[in-house]
Amino acid sequence: MNFVAAPSTAAGDRRSIVSAVSIIVPTLNERANIEPTIAALERVLRGIAWEVVFVDDDSGDGTAELATALARRDSRVRVLRRLARRGLASACIEGILATTTPAFVVMDADLQHDPALIPDMLSALDDVDLVIGSRYAAGGDGTALGTGRGIASRTATVLSRLVLRQRVADPMSGFFAMRRRAFDEVAPRLSGVGFKILLDILATTKRPLEVAELPYRFRPRRAGDSKLGAGVVAEYLLLLIEKLSGGLVPSRYVLFSAIGGVGVVVHLAVLALAMHGQVPFAVAQAVATLVAMTGNFFLNNLLTYADQRRRGWGVVKGLASFYVICGIGAVANVGIATAFYAHWSSWWQAGLAGALVGSVWNYAVSAAYTWRR
Ligand code: GDD
Ligand code: MN
C-alpha cells in the first residue's frame, strides 16, 4: 500500500514516529472475526495510515479466502498464507518481517484485545521501544480469562521471570506495539516456538528495552474457539528451556535428554525388579529397554514434538519406526551392557552404559525419521 503521510489527528502536529503502522494479526480458523477486526481498525485508526496483515496457517474454515477477497477491494488489507506450518509466535514474526512501517502492532483476531487502545499505544511509542497492552498493570483487567486460565496465566507470568531481563507486569500479553528498529535487533535470535511472541522478544533482547504498559480490559472472544491446548503449555516450557540455556542448546534436545533421563530411571527400576525376580540379566535388560522405549516415545510425542505430534495412525507408524530405530540401538545397548556386565558384574553400571549408548542413537535417528516433518 501507499503510505502517504496521513493528516495528523487530535494529537496535534507533533511529528510522531508513527505516521504509518502495520497491524499484524495471526489467524487460525477466524473467518467470522476478519471483517469485524478490519471494521474496528478502520474506526480507531482514523487519521493514521495503516495496513493489516493476516498471517494465516492454512485455516480450514476459509479465513484466508475471505481475507484475500477483502484484500482485493481494500489495499490496506494483506494476507500472508503459510502452508503446513503452525505456530502463533512464528506467524507473528513472519508477518512483522513482511512489513516495512517504522512501527507495528501485534493483535489477536478475536477482538479480545481492545483495538481502541492502539492510538494510545502509538503515541506512547514516541518515547519507548515497546508498548504492551497489559491486563496486569494497574487499571488492567484479565478477568475474562476465567478462573482456571487466570491462574494458569498468572503462574506462567511468574515462571517467565526465570528468563526475563526486565520486570514487566504482563509479559504473556499477545497485544503490543513496537518500533521496527528495536525488533530488527532481536529478530535473528528469536526462538519462534509456541504462543508467546512478546515473552520471546523480552527474553531475547540483549539491552533492556524501554517499555511502557498501558492497562486495558481483556474481553471475551468474539466468535470461534481458543486454540490454547496442552501443546501450547508444552511449547511454553520449550521456550523457557531454550531461553534458560541461553539459546545455545536447542530446546528439543534438552527436552529429549530430560525424557531420556526419566527413561533411564524407568529402565533401572524395571531392571532392578527383574534382577530381584531372578530373571537372567540379558532378558532383564531387554525387558527394561522395551518398557523405557515405549514410555519415551509417548512422552516425546506429547512434549518434545508437541508441534508435530503423531496422531491416529501416525502414532502406530511413529511407534513402529521408533521401535525399529531403537531396536538397532537396543541390540547395541544389550550387547554393550552384557559385555560390561561380564567384566565388572555390576548390573547397574552395565545397564547404565547400555542405556546411554542407546539414547544418543535414539535422539539422532528418531529426529530424522520418527518425527520428520
Ligand atoms: N497463524 C496462526 N497460527 N495463528 C494462530 C495460531 C497458529 O498456530 N494459534 C492461534 N492463532 C491465532 C488465533 O487465531 C488468534 O487470532 C490468536 O492467535 C490468539 O489465539 P487464541 O486461541 O484466541 O488464544 P488465547 O485467547 O487463548 O490467548 C491469546 O491471548 C492472550 C492474552 O493476550 C494469545 O495471544 C496469548 O498469547 C495472549 O497472552
Ligand atoms: Mn483469544
Tell me the per-residue pLDDT of 106-139, one tens digit each, with 9 for 90 and over.
999 999 999 999 999 999 999 999 999 999 999 9
| pLDDT digits 0-9 by tens, 185-224 | 999 999 888 889 999 999 999 899 999 999 999 998 888 8
* Grid cell of 177 as nine digits: 506495539
Question: Is the Cβ atom of 112 under 6 angstroms away from ligand 1?
Answer: yes
Ligand 1: atom nearest CA of 172 is: 39
| pLDDT digits 0-9 by tens, 237-255 | 888 888 887 766 667 777 8
Residue-level pLDDT at 257: 81
Q: Which of 159, 227, 232 to mutate to test the pocket of ligand 1 (most atoms within 8 A of CB)?
A: 227
Residues 6+ apart with CB under 8 A from 338: 281, 282, 285, 350, 354
Ligand 1: atom nearest CA of 198 is: 37
Question: Is the Cβ atom of 85 under 6 angstroms away from ligand 1?
Answer: no
Q: Classify domain 3-244 by CATH number.
A: 3.90.550.10
Ligand 1: atom nearest CA of 232 is: 9
What percentage of the chain reaches a pLDDT higher than 90? 58
114 residue type, one letter = D
Instruction: Using a cut of 0.85, tell me whether the model's pTM lies above it.
Output: no
**Cα 7 from Cα 249, distance rounded (Å):** 49
Largest CA distance in the chain: 87
Question: Is the Cβ atom of 87 under 6 angstroms away from ligand 1?
Answer: yes
Q: Which ligand lies nearest to the CA atom of residue 83 in the structure?
A: 1
Q: Which of 86, 105, 108 to mutate to test the pocket of ligand 1 (most atoms within 8 A of CB)?
A: 108
| pLDDT digits 0-9 by tens, 130-188 | 999 999 999 999 888 888 888 888 888 888 888 898 899 999 999 999 999 999 999 99
What percentage of the chain reaches a pLDDT higher than 70? 94
Residue 287: φ, ψ to 5°: -65, -45
Q: Mean pLDDT in the chain?
A: 89
Residue-level pLDDT at 11: 45
Residue-level pLDDT at 13: 45
Name all contacts of 296-303 with Cβ < 8 Å and 24+ positions apart.
296/259, 296/260, 296/262, 296/263, 296/362, 297/322, 297/370, 299/259, 299/262, 300/255, 300/256, 300/259, 300/366, 300/371, 301/371, 302/230, 302/234, 303/234, 303/237, 303/238, 303/255, 303/259
Going from N- to C-terminal start, the domains of the chain cover 3-244, 251-368
Residue-level pLDDT at 232: 81
| pLDDT digits 0-9 by tens, 288-337 | 988 988 999 999 998 888 777 898 999 999 999 998 998 888 788 889 99
Residue-level pLDDT at 244: 83
